[in-house]
Amino acid sequence: MTTSLMIETKRLTKTFGAFVAVKDLDLKVRTGSIHGFVGPNGAGKSTTLKMLIGAIRSTAGEGRIGGHPLGSEAARRLLGYSSDRPSFYRDMTAWDYLVHMAELSGMRIDEAESRARELLKWLELAEFSDAKVGGFSAGMKQRLSLALAMAHRPRLLLLDEPTANLDPDGRASLLEQLRQLQQEQGITIFISSHILPELEQLVDAVTMIDKGRIVAEDSISQLKQEISSNHYVLTTSDNEAVYRALEDKACVQEIHLDAEGVIHLTSDDLATLQDTVMEAVSACKALLKNFGEEQVSLDDIYRKTMRQDKDS
């Protein structure tokens, strides 16, 4: 398998009896990247993460972390995992947890304590280092879970909904910290999240999964280009009249008005479309306000990809 990839799977499959949770998953995550992992509930994301961290074995196929087989000791040493629903012993303190985890990874006690102080400060938990975790808020537990995942200085972070329990300021702060971590230390970050606008700000590439299968995987820029290609938006002083003037034109393949009355249209002949739009605007005695390529978001890509998968 390719050494430039931190995560690579080939035909990775997991079944539970007759139920197929993940089927023939060919996942590729480039070393040093921030990679998003998205899909509807029940798509197979959690099962995939559990196979990647070695918590469950695949039924078929294979996978590697940094070139090492899934579940091997070498693979486990490379990764840190933070759950979307972390659970802790209520009577332990954040300090005790972090020192203990760092020691388990092989650090001397002085190294473990230094690492614990560093992480508690970085994740804004220093003032709560001696507080029992049972009294932590959901957001504080989420931050502690991330700190524990990082205790042994992993080269790969697997994060399941890392901002789900944080307030808006906390989410923005954590996203910036993750970006800095990747840029300054070259750590690979694999994030499963439903919060697509946040994910779009952070990730280099994304994998979309549905019904246990990959339905899209590429860089954000490439996916946007594929979705927006030949797609245009048009606004005028009289959108309804211009829409009616354009809907039967040969160069217009698809056209619709959205909820705000903006015209969306597709065409594989931009030059002819431009002339046709100008003629329609003039014929309707309207003013042209905007005409250009449609700007798409990760949410747009997700919705269109999932809609196409359901229609196929």
pLDDT tens, position by position, 83-135: 988 889 999 999 999 999 999 889 999 999 999 999 999 999 999 999 999 99
CA distance 216 to 309: 10
Q: What angle do CA 270, 312, 14 make, to 5 degrees?
A: 125
Position 125, amino acid = L
Q: Are 204 and 35 in contact (CB under 8 A)?
A: yes
pLDDT at 230: 87
CA distance 205 to 39: 14
User: Going by DSSP bridges, is the β-strand pair 254-257/263-266 parallel, antiparallel, or unpaired?
Assistant: antiparallel
pLDDT at 279: 95
Contacts of 276 (CB under 8 A, 6+ apart): 246, 249, 251, 252
Q: Measured between alpha carbons, how far apart are the two ends of the chain, in Å?
A: 31
> What pLDDT digit, counting tens, does each position of 15-53 carry?
999 999 999 999 999 999 999 999 998 899 999 999 999
The Cβ-side half-sphere exposure at 81, using a 13 Å CA radius, reads 16
* Residue 121: C-alpha distances to residues 8, 23, 116 (Å): 33, 41, 9
pLDDT at 65: 97
Q: Backbone dihedral region of 106: left (phi > 0), alpha (psi from -120 to 50 degrees) or beta?
A: left
Q: Are 273 and 232 in contact (CB under 8 A)?
A: yes
pLDDT at 164: 81
pLDDT at 312: 59
Question: How many residues would you count in the chain?
Answer: 312
Q: What's the rounded mean pLDDT across residues 213-235?
A: 89
DSSP characters for 89-124? Answer: -TTSBHHHHHHHHHHHTT--HHHHHHHHHHHHHHTT
Q: Is the pLDDT of residue 309 over 80?
A: no
Q: What's the rounded mean pLDDT across residues 225-241?
A: 90
pLDDT at 291: 95
User: Going by DSSP bridges, is the β-strand pair 213-219/205-210 parallel, antiparallel, or unpaired?
Assistant: antiparallel
> What pLDDT digit, counting tens, does each position of 171-184 carry?
888 888 899 989 99
Helix (H, G, I), strand (E, B) or coil at 254: strand
pLDDT at 233: 94
Q: Is the pLDDT of residue 235 over 90?
A: yes
Q: How confident is the model at residue 310 (pLDDT cuts 50, 70, 90)?
A: low
* Residue 93: C-alpha distances to residues 107, 152, 163 (Å): 19, 18, 22
DSSP 8-class letter at 37: E
- Higher pLDDT among residues 311 and 244, named by residue: 244
Residue 163 parent element (H or E): none
Residue 240 parent element (H or E): helix 239-246
Q: Are 82 and 160 in contact (CB under 8 A)?
A: yes
Reported in sequence order, the residue ranges of 246-308 that DSSP labels E, i.e. its strands, are 254-257, 263-266, 288-293
- Higher pLDDT among residues 7 and 304, named by residue: 7
pLDDT at 168: 86
pLDDT at 119: 94
